[in-house]
Structure 1
Amino acid sequence: MENIKKILGIVWIILAVLTAYFCIAKFGLPKIVSGKQEDVVFGIIILFILTPIISIGLGIFGFFALKGEYGRDKM
């Protein structure tokens, strides 16, 4: 079970990187450069609020899972 947790830690870290890429390249920047006011506001919210929360949260969770912080001996 501990090995599965460590493998899933790597998966969470990869998901954090992919989420950052998609939030920036696919959702945030195209909305900002579109020129419409509602798109610019949505792009700013995605880039500066949602992307850090989601990516950093997934990365920290994956790091702790990879480190073994969720093991039975830590409880």
Structure 2
Amino acid sequence: MNAFKKILGIVWMVLGPLSMAFLITQAIDKVGLAHSEIERTNTILQWAIILFIFFPISIGLMIFGFYAWKGEYDQLADHSSD
């Protein structure tokens, strides 16, 4: 099970930057498709909010993956007193 956790840690570390790259490319694509100036401003605002929310989530995903890869989650507590 510990080897599985380490493999998933690598997956999470790779998934963080990939998800941000995907979101950025989608934002550029959607902003470029906006026709009027008001529509473009609204689209930029929407994507700025989306990126602002998901950027820390992707950083947390990479940190979680790093700790899983290093083996920090190999020993889990059995009781709440541990």
Q: TM-score range by the shorter chain?
A: 0.7 to 0.9
CA distance in 1, matches of 2:29, 2:54: 15
Contact 1:20 1:55 in 2 (8 A): yes
Contact 1:9 1:64 in 2 (8 A): yes
Name stretches of at least 5 consecutive residues in structure 2 with no aligned partner: none
Q: Which has the larger radius of gyration?
A: 2
**Alignment RMSD, CA only?**
2.1
Which protein is richer in helix relative to its size? Answer: 1
CA distance in 2, matches of 1:32, 1:51: 18
Question: 2:42 matched to which residue of 1?
Answer: 38
Higher relative contact order, structure no. (Cα contacts within 8 Å, ≥ 6 residues apart): 2
Q: Residues 2 and 46 of structure 1: is their aligned pair in 2 closer, same or farther, counting only changes over 3 Å?
A: same
Name stretches of at least 5 consecutive residues in structure 1 with no aligned partner: none
TM-score, normalisation: structure 2: 0.73
Give me the identity figure in percent: 42
* Off by >6 Å, runs of 4+ in structure 1: none
2:75 to 69, 72, 75: 72
